[in-house]
Amino acid sequence: MRRAALGCALLLALAWPAWAEEQVGPEETAPAASISKAPLAEYAFNKPEVLTAQLLWGVAHGARLLALACAGSGQHAAAEAWVDWREREQPQILAAGRLLGRHYFGSEEISPAVISAALGLKPALDLPPEALGPACETLAQALAQPRYDLSRFHAMTLELLQRGGKTNSLEVLK
């Protein structure tokens, strides 16, 4: 069982490998250097494709943070469910990352950590155990729901925005 837990933690770390920071200068990391060049992160309400990518990225980022918190608290089934979900949803997540990288930095080769920071997303969850436990227990079930099908999420959100509708991630996730 210990070996399975270590394997799950390793898979989580490798599933989003670009979170590693590389040294740029004496006291500066690549994300810090890149973020300092980014425009202020705002929702791109006048650009449906970018807004869709921003919302999708937020969903994927939130699922990842919960999976990391679950793995850190020893609830490895939730982390394993996230790894499976991430593998299925990887094409949409990578496409959103490339689009956001171009939008914010003029490059598709931007790490997920830098994109998340540019969007102002938290780097970690800070949930008390009484909230984390139930969230971890239901993560696998939640990720199996249609609202976490990122191809569907992307298509529905983009269609709504292109028709001139206003949205927030809660409307699309229904």
Tell me: the pLDDT tens digits for 5-35? 434 443 444 444 433 333 323 333 444 545 5
pLDDT of residue 96: 98
Task: Note whether 18 and 112 are within 8 A (CB).
Answer: yes
pLDDT classification of 172: cutoffs 50, 70, 90:
low
* pLDDT tens per residue across span 43-58: 888 899 999 999 999 9
Please give the backbone phi and psi of residue 29, each rounded to the nearest 5 degrees, phi first: -105, 165
Mean pLDDT (the chain) is 80
Tell me which residue of 5, 4, 116 sits closest to 63, measured CA to CA: 116
Q: Is 127 exposed, middle or buried (0-12, 13-18, 19+ CB in 10 A)?
A: middle
For residue 121, pLDDT over 90 is answered with yes
Q: Residue range 97-119: average pLDDT?
A: 94
